[in-house]
Amino acid sequence: MRNPGKNIKITANNITVNYNDEGPENAPVMIFIHGFPFSKEMWNKQMAALREKYRVISYDIRGHGNSWSGTDDFTIELFVKDLLSLMDALEIEKAALCGLSMGGYIALKAMENHPYRFESLILCDTSCKADSPEAKEKRMKAIDGILKNGVEQFAADSLKNFFAQESFISKKDVITEVREIMVNTSEKSIIKTLLALSKRKETCPTLWKIKVPVLILVGEEDKITPPEAAQFMHEEINGSVMSVIENAGHLSNLENPDQFNEQLKRFLDNKVGGQKTGGQEKEI
Ligand code: MLT
């Protein structure tokens, strides 16, 4: 039975998952997956923009926000199992899936392994590629740094790469909010997630199999998963639509929510309205 509201607890895959569930009872379902090391709160503006017409759900990935960590090592596959288990617990047969960065890695893996559970995909500031040897090395250095200097220093270093130049001047409140979420994530969960990210497998070889409508969004100044990574997926996914979000870095939904939400709504409205099924239009 549905239990709408904010900060709801449910058991999924043997842990307590914390989620927000808003919008009309029988509306099409849209699930948001946050990036690392953030929480479901990063989707609040998108939830507010869509909740009149869609049942919108955001949840805290295990070890993040208010969801339990459990005792297993983290892997992208475990995060996918959590997602499917959450959908089962909420009795959701099919949903549109929107993931940013690590959320996108999870969404792509979920789509690869369980394509019949998703009716469309929104990939934001993400990539289908696995970590390069250099990226793995950086993650190991980050783990050493956290063990020596703590999460606050890790957050300060990471924040420098997350935002567009303009955001450091005009979006100070957003940066403070993101920092707050990061430093409230436990050291243990951050380290476990860094290991999971470094071991993740690429999903690029199966992109051609995706048959549902796909929207790809990327901040024009994203330094972590840059527009070239988005362009690559766009070329591989048949009929995908891609749009570059201006004045935004890696957290495009927070840095330019107006443009981000406009693209999201346009995509969902066209898709749900049944006018367009394959997302044939290409914006770039
Ligand atoms: C994220 O935002 O989820 C991270 O930047 C992903 C990553 O470090 O690969």
For residue 133, the 8-state DSSP code is H
Per-residue pLDDT tens digits for 52-72: 999 999 999 999 999 999 999
What average pLDDT does the segment 129-136 reach? 98
Q: Which atom of ligand 1 is nearest to the CA of 125?
A: 2
Task: Give me the pLDDT at residue 284, please.
Answer: 46
Whether 101 is in the pocket of ligand 1, judged by its Cβ within 6 Å, is yes
Report residue 270's pLDDT band, with 50, 70 and 90 as the boundaries: confident
**What is the pLDDT of the chain when averaged over all its residues?**
95
Whether 104 is in the pocket of ligand 1, judged by its Cβ within 6 Å, is no
Whether 37 is in the pocket of ligand 1, judged by its Cβ within 6 Å, is no
Per-residue pLDDT tens digits for 71-113: 999 999 999 999 999 999 999 999 999 999 999 999 999 999 9
Are 102 and 193 spatial neighbours (Cβ–Cβ below 8 Å)? yes
Task: Give me the pLDDT at residue 277, please.
Answer: 35
- Reading phi first (left if > 0) and then psi (alpha if -120 to 50, else beta), residue 214 is in beta
pLDDT exceeds cutoff 50 at 20: yes
Residue with the smallest CA separation from ligand 1 atom 4 is 36
274 phi and psi angles, rounded to 5 deg: 80, 5
pLDDT exceeds cutoff 90 at 223: yes
- The share of the chain scoring above pLDDT 70, in percent, equals 95
Task: Give me the pLDDT at residue 282, please.
Answer: 38
Q: Which atom of ligand 1 is nearest to the CA of 104?
A: 3
Task: Give me the pLDDT at residue 213, please.
Answer: 97
Within 13 Å of residue 283, how many CA atoms lie on the same side as its CB? 16
| Kind plus residue range of the DSSP H or E element containing 153 | helix 133-162
Q: Model pTM?
A: 0.95
Q: Ligand 1 pocket check: which of 33, 102, 140 to mutate, most ligand atoms within 8 Å of Cβ? A: 102
Task: Give me the pLDDT at residue 278, please.
Answer: 36
